[in-house]
């Protein structure tokens, strides 16, 4: 995914590149990546450095969420579905009890 930091009249915003299919083929464009919660309004940073830090924080939180989700899907010592998870510190795998 490609990102850019764009200067506006009010400050700096973070955007990411998106691709969409249209009648005439694949079109690429830029959409706001960091917005205010629950709206499509872009979050405006005062300086370029703060926009860069905001982008890095968003990417780090996304990666942390993905790795945490993957870790919860497996148990170390469970070989079969339905086997006990007491040796795995009460693993959260759905078929483990």
Per-residue pLDDT of the chain (97 residues), as tens digits, is: 799 999 999 999 999 999 988 888 899 999 999 888 888 899 999 999 999 999 998 888 877 666 555 555 555 555 555 555 555 555 655 555 4
Instruction: Give φ, ψ of 15 to 5 degrees.
Output: -130, 160
pTM of the model: 0.60
**Residue 13 burial (C-beta neighbours within 10 Å; 0-12, 13-18, 19+):** buried
């Amino acid at each position: 995914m490609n990102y850019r930091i764009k200067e506006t009249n009010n400050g700096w915003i973070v955007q990411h590149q998106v691709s969409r299919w249209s009648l005439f083929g694949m079109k690429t464009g830029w959409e706001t990546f960091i917005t205010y919660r629950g709206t499509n309004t872009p979050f405006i940073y005062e300086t370029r450095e703060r926009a860069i830090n905001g982008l890095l924080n968003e990417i780090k939180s996304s990666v942390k969420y993905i790795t945490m989700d993957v870790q919860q899907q497996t148990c170390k010592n469970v070989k079969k579905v339905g086997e006990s998870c007491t040796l795995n510190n009460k693993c959260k795998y759905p078929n483990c009890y």
